[in-house]
Structure 1
Amino acid sequence: MPASLLELKKKIASVKQTGKITEAMRMVSASKLNQTEDRDKGYTIYNNHVRKTISRLISSQVVDSLREQDVAIDKRNIDYTDVFGLGITADMIQPRKNIKSTGFLVVSGDRGLVGSYNSNVIKNMMGIFEDERAQGHDVKVLAVGSVGAQFFKKNNVNVVYEKNGVSDVPTFDEVLPIVSTAIKMFLNGVFDQLYVCYTHHVNSLSSAFRVEKMLPIVDLDIGVKEAEAHRELEYDIEPDPNRVLMKLLPQYARSTIYGAILDAKTAEHASSMTAMQSATDNAKDLVSNLTTKLNRARQAQITTEITEIISGANALE
């Protein structure tokens, strides 16, 4: 058999084997995607309940305090230290006046073969860092994922914390050291505000980059409506609302950051699944093209052999 036919056969066998591998990787990513999606649903329900509870507790305390002072309720101008005094409760929800340093908890992957997942995160973050520096703020990064961490360090970005090897279906206990470190750094003044930057999972075919402010906690619904809802439910709070909030606020921050990491992992699996599906389809197309070339080469060989036989017969006449 001519060398060209042997080469084509080897290429076809190699591409078929690669296609089997990428298909297996697609199935693994699909399985992990289903697991993280199921876990994300349960987390969302829990986080929403905690958020509503905290909003009602804080609203009740704020409304009562401001009514005693005969001050109009305006969420933008509330000084929580007047309501709760100095301590964790006020620290967790009171925006700081002079922002000198901003922390970014950036979630990327630990490996490739996930399409544009990692490159999109890095590209968006470098633009955000430039904007932050233009405002005179120091940038400090908490990197979750080796791809982002290595890139940022090579580009002289201040990485104050790094965590690699987060499992594909992370549990709350696994990421607790990450979120606890982020909260401690904020409370200790390492940075004055914290943003979590990650890829939000929309569906298996699309995702969206998100930047969410996590600390101080500013996404709570504070107002008269929430305070009245609190009273209608007739909470029995022991020992007192402030002590309960001292426990609930850090827990809410932890669960919110965990939710972002879980969401990012879901998007990573979806991106990996899509990339492996594309690779499998490309392998099938390549096998088809190579098979066509092989058939044509075989046909050309047969035609050449028949021509040689006929020429030889004619020469004997």
Structure 2
Amino acid sequence: MASLRDIRQKIKGVSSTGQITNAMKMMSTARLNRALDLLKQSKVYNNKLSAMFHNIKSHITPSKHRCLKNEEVKVSCVIVIGGERGLCGGFNQDLHRFAYETIKNNKEKEIKLVTIGKKVSAFFNKTDIKPYKQVNDLNIKEAKETLQPLCNELISLYSAKKIDEIKVIYTSFISATKKSLTQQRIFPLTEPANSLCKNESNNVTFEFNPSPDIIFENLLPRYVQTTLYRFLLESNAAEQSSRMAAMTSATDRAEEIVDDLKLQLNRSRQALITQEISEVISGSQL
């Protein structure tokens, strides 16, 4: 049986760990709220931009723009958006497994891998699929501007026919308790998945000056940047909610362990007192 001193040290250690996980839970909750605010603002802007972009797309000649053609895919650029830190349950591991298996299932294509996030970059650096480009230590508040050079480079590669498609793999945020591992194609362009974008695009009539083709080419980098930024915000919200859930679970478990240790301490103390009383009684009878 463990001594009273050992049990007290365990209680102290677990209580200290519980305080740390509780502090991390509160930090994750605050970060999740900020992430959701950014995501909400981004969705409004993204919906308006997407509606305008797809309206313009319906007024141009598809043959003039490679991003509107469905050509044979020989080289695929895959962007994987992951987490910057750990302690978020199975968030990183689930994404890494999904991304790796998805890429491996496309053996017939040459893959140019772009990783966003330290954890996903570290994972793929240990595999047989090495990243072509890595974006780490991304400040979420400055991410939109930071992503611009990457978006410009990808558009240039696509226009030069060095890549034939651009896909993004990330964790889509649905609610605080529900996420979805998602794969979305940016190029070639598809119809907007959001029904709100479709409705707005159909209900608004634009008059173009200069021509729709010129506006389309100028708007393309902004559209790609905004779309990638929204995926990043969704991934960030999913990461923060996963970390909040993990730290909540860890804090609750620490409290349960402390309660069990206190019960064990009381039982050990009671057993020790009973033993001392028995020894006193035995001694008095001699």
Query: Which residues of structure 2 form unaligned runs of 5+?
Result: 194-198
The Cα offsets for residues 57-106 of structure 1, whole Å up to 9 and x where unpaired, read as: 222345xxxxxxxxxxxxxxxxx12xxx3xxxx133223x2311111100
How far off its partner does 1:219 sit?
2.3
User: Counterparts of 2:96 and 2:231 in 1: how far apart (Å)?
Assistant: 17
The Cα offsets for residues 132-177 of structure 1, whole Å up to 9 and x where unpaired, read as: 10xx111221011122222222211031100111135554123333
Q: Is the 8 A contact 1:139 1:158 kept in 2?
A: no
Alignment pair present for 1:206 and 2:188: no
Counterpart amino acid of residue 209 in structure 1:
L
User: Counterparts of 2:45 and 2:114 in 1: how far apart (Å)?
Assistant: 25
Distance 1:28 1:169, change over 3 A: farther
1:293 corresponds to which of 240, 264, 275: 264
Distance 1:8 1:168, change over 3 A: farther
Aligned residues: CA RMSD = 2.1
Which residue of structure 2 lines up, in the alignment, with residue 93 of structure 1? Answer: 68
TM-score norm. by structure 2 comes to 0.91
SS of equivalent to 2:224: helix
How far off its partner does 1:53 sit?
1.1
Alignment pair present for 1:149 and 2:121: yes
Which residue of structure 1 lines up, in the alignment, with residue 102 of structure 2? Answer: 128
Deviates more, 1:7-16 or 1:246-255: 246-255
User: Counterparts of 2:280 and 2:15 in 1: how far apart (Å)?
Assistant: 36
SS of equivalent to 1:198: strand
Alignment pair present for 1:313 and 2:284: yes
Which residue of structure 2 lines up, in the alignment, with residue 74 of structure 1? Answer: none
- Structure having the higher Rg: 1
Which residue of structure 2 lines up, in the alignment, with residue 111 of structure 1? Answer: 85
The within-5 A match list for 1:154-193 is 154-167=126-139, 169=141, 171-193=143-165
Q: Is the 8 A contact 2:78 2:167 kept in 1?
A: yes
The Cα offsets for residues 219-241 of structure 1, whole Å up to 9 and x where unpaired, read as: 249xxx999855xx3x3422222
Distance 1:150 1:171, change over 3 A: closer
Which residue of structure 1 lines up, in the alignment, with residue 190 of structure 2? Answer: 218
The Cα offsets for residues 18-54 of structure 1, whole Å up to 9 and x where unpaired, read as: 0010011011111111111111111111111111112
Q: Is the 8 A contact 1:169 1:262 kept in 2?
A: no
User: Counterparts of 1:227 and 1:164 in 2: how far apart (Å)?
Assistant: 35
Which residue of structure 1 lines up, in the alignment, with residue 196 of structure 2? Answer: none
Which residue of structure 2 lines up, in the alignment, with residue 276 of structure 1? Answer: 247
Aligned residue pairs total: 281
SS of equivalent to 2:162: coil
Alignment pair present for 1:253 and 2:224: yes
Aligned-pair identity in percent equals 28
How far off its partner does 1:113 sit?
0.5
Which residue of structure 2 lines up, in the alignment, with residue 48 of structure 1? Answer: 47
SS of equivalent to 1:207: strand
TM-score norm. by structure 1 comes to 0.83
User: Counterparts of 1:103 and 1:59 in 2: how far apart (Å)?
Assistant: 26
Counterpart amino acid of residue 58 in structure 1:
K
SS of equivalent to 1:50: helix
The Cα offsets for residues 150-206 of structure 1, whole Å up to 9 and x where unpaired, read as: 222221103110011113555412333333333333333332101100001111112
Deviates more, 1:161-170 or 1:28-37: 161-170
SS of equivalent to 1:132: coil
